Structure 1
Amino acid sequence: MKTLHFILKSHFKKSKDIQQTGGFTLIELLVALLISFLIITPLLGFMISVMNTDRQEQAKTNSEEELQTALNYISRDLQQAVYIYDAAGVSAISSQLRYPNDATKVPLLVFWKRELVSEVIAAADNSKDDTFVYSLVVYYLITDTTNTTWSKAARIARWQIQDGVQAISGGEECTGYTAKYVKIDGKTQCPSPGFAPFQAQFDEADSLEQGMNKWQKSSSSYTADATVLIDYIDQSTASPRPNATCPPDSTSPAITWSRIADTRTNSMTGFYVCVDKTNTTAQVFIRGNAVARIENNKDKINYIDSRKTYFPTLSVRVQGRGYLFR
């Protein structure tokens, strides 16, 4: 019994010693936590900073790429232009365009172009030939920031109406028009509702410009709506946002620019156009807003000089190559 008592007593003594020397004190744990906090917090802040920088750079890259894509599209569109309206011309026909009473949609680039219509003219060998019709194209600066589908910045939208393909003989009637039009595969190639040919104004006009500025829509109502081409356009209305300026005029070659820009009280310069109507030439300026991609507060996405790199600006000069038949 004495031997067993000695063994048990020795075991409990060792267990007590282990419990006393095998753990950490509360002070040691607090010190360890403090050291971990001092190490991890700067690392976490650094990681967040890297992620934010990457997000901002990605937003800027996306803006630049989308601006270039939009300008390429507009450039190809303008290459087929036969007449480009200057500021006076846009003002003259603005009441005849889509959205005449909508202050949130400002028409800035307006031109007539030749539109290719494929395989609509019956040939002698029973094949189908292509033809061209005239169409009216308008690019709008849209600023209705209450629309939840789009960003708090501005955007550019494109609207187009075009003539139908008139039949040389026979043909089908279209509501509101006296001419007859080609019918292909069961579908009559009618004009867009609201379309009227510009040639009708030339009989009472002294010049091409005067005739174009007298253009009026047909009696039928428009049904086509503008389609957004690009979002995240700079919507800043106050200084220090850049002004809308055109290149200087020149005498050789003879170029006289007409600036077409937002003229409302709180005007925007994120999208504007300079037109030389004599040479059927337009220079288009677009400024993006990458900040609006990462910030949803409309009061925090305005242009400031310290972050102007996040408001990339691109421009393109295009001369229309279409030929106008009068």
Structure 2
Amino acid sequence: MNPLKWFLNQYLKRCHIKQKSGGFTLIELLVAIVLAALVITPLMGFMINVMDNDRKEQAKATSEQEIKAALDYISRDLEQAIYIYDAAGIEKIKSQLPTSSTSDHFPVIVFWKRQFRPQVISAGSGFDDTFVYSLVAYYFIKGDDPDNTWSKAARIGRFEIREGQDGFQIFDPNNQYTTLKDKMENWTKSATGYTNNSPNILPLVDYIDQTTVSENLAVAPPSCPADSDPSTPDMQQVPNYATGATTAVPDANLKTGSFYVCVLSSPTTTSTQKAITVSEVHLRGNAYARIENDVNKIKYSDNKKNYFPQYSARVKGRGFLYTK
């Protein structure tokens, strides 16, 4: 045989063998795809579940931190209070505060405080430090968000007006009222003040539970503790949800129990009176609103209660106010 022909035959045989052993059949590919799918699918589901749980835990942790921070801020603010309005007091001065309508805003905490301000009054050629009075109000706000800036839950806003600002007027400037309570409850803003249609209410914290008391049947409506001593006044709840209540009652749309305060009312009978500034502040957040956009799915339910962190604090004001 021709050596060249023999060599060529041997080479072609080897190439043919290599081609046969170098590929996969269609059945082998299908089996491999099915096995890969059986392995990858549960792994993907596991990873998605881990990421979803992490997102939910992060939402809960963020809400808890924000609620604690807001409660701490309100508590420090109340420590400077010299007079806190009870339910009857808020009802009397509500028309003097920004947004007197109770349809989407409601003033829950209203108080006067005395605050140190450096370098605010003229003293010779310079300025000197002094103490100034301020009126502060914390609002529960639900809705009223045409720009979709805030969540579909509720939020808390803060209003403050102090000496030197438009609208400020000291309580009882003409000294026409006898008791401290009357002086405070008859406060009016100045003629050059703010209008109810353009309030300067700044947001403090968002994602406050918006579930109303009638929808939140899993939790008893909020109530303030009764005092066992009959000689001392009981704390009053603001907002007031009691049946038949006539003071500090918001619209049904705002009866949530997620932001309320228990206030110890001030004395009215003694000739020399000192304001009592003791309060309990209660807050409940809504972390579920961070991970769900459907307004019907972010309401409180017993199986989602871990997403609704609740905290409270008891605060006693450091300042005092006397009248004779």
Taking structure 1 as the reference length, the TM-score comes to 0.84
What is the aligned partner in structure 2 of residue 217 from structure 1? 189
Whole-Å Cα distance in 1 between the matches of residues 51 and 114 of structure 2? 48
Deviating more after overlay: 249-258 vs 41-50: 249-258
Whole-Å Cα distance in 2 between the matches of residues 229 and 253 of structure 1? 38
What is the aligned partner in structure 2 of residue 183 from structure 1? none
What is the aligned partner in structure 1 of residue 4 from structure 2? 4
Whole-Å Cα distance in 2 between the matches of residues 90 and 200 of structure 1? 20
What is the aligned partner in structure 2 of residue 229 from structure 1? 204
2:251 counterpart of 1:264: yes
Residues 201, 215 of structure 1: 8 Å contact kept: no
What is the aligned partner in structure 2 of residue 245 from structure 1? 223
**Partner SS state of residue 296, structure 2:** helix
Whole-Å Cα distance in 2 between the matches of residues 196 and 241 of structure 1? 45
What is the aligned partner in structure 1 of residue 311 from structure 2? 314
Could you tell me which amino acid in structure 1 is paired with residue 135 of structure 2?
A: L
Structure-to-structure mapping, 1:152-163, within 5 angstroms: 152-163=152-163
Alpha-carbon distance change, 241 to 118 in structure 1, aligned in 2, over 3 angstroms: farther
Unaligned runs of 5+ in 1: 164-190
Could you tell me which amino acid in structure 2 is paired with residue 59 of structure 1?
A: A
Residues 110, 138 of structure 1: 8 Å contact kept: yes
Whole-Å Cα distance in 2 between the matches of residues 2 and 296 of structure 1? 84
Whole-Å Cα distance in 1 between the matches of residues 122 and 178 of structure 2? 38
Q: Which of 171, 194, 216 matches 1:198? A: 171
Residues 119, 128 of structure 2: 8 Å contact kept: yes
What is the aligned partner in structure 1 of residue 46 from structure 2? 46
Alpha-carbon distance change, 241 to 88 in structure 1, aligned in 2, over 3 angstroms: farther
What is the aligned partner in structure 1 of residue 13 from structure 2? 13
The alpha-carbon deviation at position 39 of structure 1 amounts to 1.0
Whole-Å Cα distance in 2 between the matches of residues 219 and 250 of structure 1? 45
What is the aligned partner in structure 1 of residue 296 from structure 2? 299
The alpha-carbon deviation at position 228 of structure 1 amounts to 0.7
**Partner SS state of residue 172, structure 2:** helix
Residues 201, 212 of structure 1: 8 Å contact kept: no
Provide, for residues 90-129 of structure 1, a one-character-per-residue CA deviation record: whole Å limited to 9, x for no partner: 11111110112362211110011112221234568x7754
Could you tell me which amino acid in structure 2 is paired with residue 239 of structure 1?
A: N
**Partner SS state of residue 228, structure 1:** strand
Alpha-carbon distance change, 142 to 199 in structure 1, aligned in 2, over 3 angstroms: same
Whole-Å Cα distance in 2 between the matches of residues 260 and 211 of structure 1? 20
Whole-Å Cα distance in 1 between the matches of residues 308 and 208 of structure 2? 9
Alpha-carbon distance change, 285 to 29 in structure 1, aligned in 2, over 3 angstroms: same
Could you tell me which amino acid in structure 2 is paired with residue 198 of structure 1?
A: F
Percent identity for Structure 1 against Structure 2 = 47
Residues matched between the structures, number? 297
Whole-Å Cα distance in 2 between the matches of residues 23 and 253 of structure 1? 96
Alpha-carbon distance change, 234 to 253 in structure 1, aligned in 2, over 3 angstroms: farther
The alpha-carbon deviation at position 244 of structure 1 amounts to 2.0
Provide, for residues 223-270 of structure 1, a one-character-per-residue CA deviation record: whole Å limited to 9, x for no partner: 761111111111112123632222232318935111112631222221
Whole-Å Cα distance in 1 between the matches of residues 62 and 16 of structure 2? 67
Q: Does 1 or 2 have the higher relative contact order (CA < 8 Å, sep 6+)? A: 2
What is the aligned partner in structure 2 of residue 140 from structure 1? 139
Unaligned runs of 5+ in 2: 240-248, 267-275
**Partner SS state of residue 198, structure 1:** coil
**Partner SS state of residue 309, structure 1:** helix
Residues 154, 206 of structure 2: 8 Å contact kept: yes
Whole-Å Cα distance in 2 between the matches of residues 228 and 300 of structure 1? 24
Alpha-carbon distance change, 153 to 146 in structure 1, aligned in 2, over 3 angstroms: farther
Whole-Å Cα distance in 2 between the matches of residues 193 and 42 of structure 1? 64
The alpha-carbon deviation at position 325 of structure 1 amounts to 4.5
Taking structure 2 as the reference length, the TM-score comes to 0.84
What is the aligned partner in structure 2 of residue 289 from structure 1? 286
What is the aligned partner in structure 2 of residue 56 from structure 1? 56
Residues 146, 152 of structure 1: 8 Å contact kept: no
Could you tell me which amino acid in structure 2 is paired with residue 215 of structure 1?
A: W
Alpha-carbon distance change, 316 to 147 in structure 1, aligned in 2, over 3 angstroms: farther
The alpha-carbon deviation at position 135 of structure 1 amounts to 1.0
Residues 233, 265 of structure 2: 8 Å contact kept: no
**Partner SS state of residue 173, structure 2:** helix
2:263 counterpart of 1:275: yes
Residues 285, 316 of structure 1: 8 Å contact kept: yes
Compute the RMSD of aligned alpha carbons.
2.2
Residues 79, 318 of structure 2: 8 Å contact kept: yes
